[in-house]
């Protein structure tokens, strides 16, 4: 994966890009929706939940699970495409 090998550099770049995107969603779901914006979100209801409260105690955890699932699936595809699996 040294500079001489653009194939492997491409693999690493794609990995880092995917990671940055998923971590941005991770931060928004937990620190954003669950903490920073919880009070304005609580003015909305999701069934019997104030929305911000739901993100803080339920929604963020579901988002975490989905993020790792997406990561594992995308990396499997990326590994195959770059022949590093």
Partner 1 sequence: MDVRGWTYVLVGVTFALYVGIAVWSRVRSTAGFYVAGRDVPPLANGMATGADWMSAASFISMAGLVSFMGYTGAIYLMGWTGGYVLLALLLAPYLRKYGKFTTSEFLGDRYYSQTARVVGALCTIFVSFTYIAGQMRGVGVVFSRFLEVEVETGVVIGMVIVLFYATLGGMRGITWTQVAQYAVLIVAYLIPAVAISWKITGQPVPQIGFGATVAEGTNAGRFLLETLDHLHRELGMPAYTDAFVPGKKGMLDVLAITGALMVGTAGLPHVLIRFYTVPSARAARWSALWALVFIALLYTTAPAVAAFARVNLIQSLHGVAVANVPPWFESWEATGLIGFDDKDGDGRITLSGDAQRNELRVDRDIMVLANPEIARLPAWIVALVAAGGLAAALSTAAGLLLVISSAISHDFAKSWLAPGLSERRELSLARATAAVAVLIAAWFGINPPGFVAQVVAFAFGLAASSFFPALVLGIFWKRATREGAVAGMLAGILFTATYIVWFEYVSPASAPEGYWLGISPEGIGAVGMLLNFAVAIPLSLATRPPPVEVVELVEEIRLPRSREV
Torsion on CA atoms 60, 65, 68, 73, rounded to nearest 10: -130
Least distance to partner 1, CB of residue 6, Å: 14
Least distance to partner 1, CB of residue 67, Å: 5
Provide the binding-site residues for partner 1, judged by CB under 8 A: 1-2, 8, 11-12, 15-16, 19, 22-23, 26, 30-31, 34-36, 38-39, 42, 46-50, 52-54, 56-58, 60-62, 64-65, 67-69, 71-72, 75-76, 79, 84-85
Q: d(Cα 76, Cα 44) in Å, to the nearest integer?
A: 38
Q: d(Cα 11, Cα 47) in Å, to the nearest integer?
A: 43
* Angle subtended at Cα 72 by Cα 2 and Cα 81, rounded to the nearest 5 degrees: 50
Least distance to partner 1, CB of residue 41, Å: 10
């Amino acid at each position: 994966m040294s500079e001489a090998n653009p194939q492997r550099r491409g693999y690493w770049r794609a990995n880092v890009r995917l990671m940055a995107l998923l971590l941005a969603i991770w931060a928004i779901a937990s620190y954003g929706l669950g903490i920073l914006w919880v009070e304005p979100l609580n003015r909305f209801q999701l069934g019997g939940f104030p929305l911000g409260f739901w993100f803080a105690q339920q929604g963020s955890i579901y988002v975490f699970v989905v993020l790792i699932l997406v990561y594992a699936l995308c990396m499997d595809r990326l590994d195959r495409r770059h022949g590093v699996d």
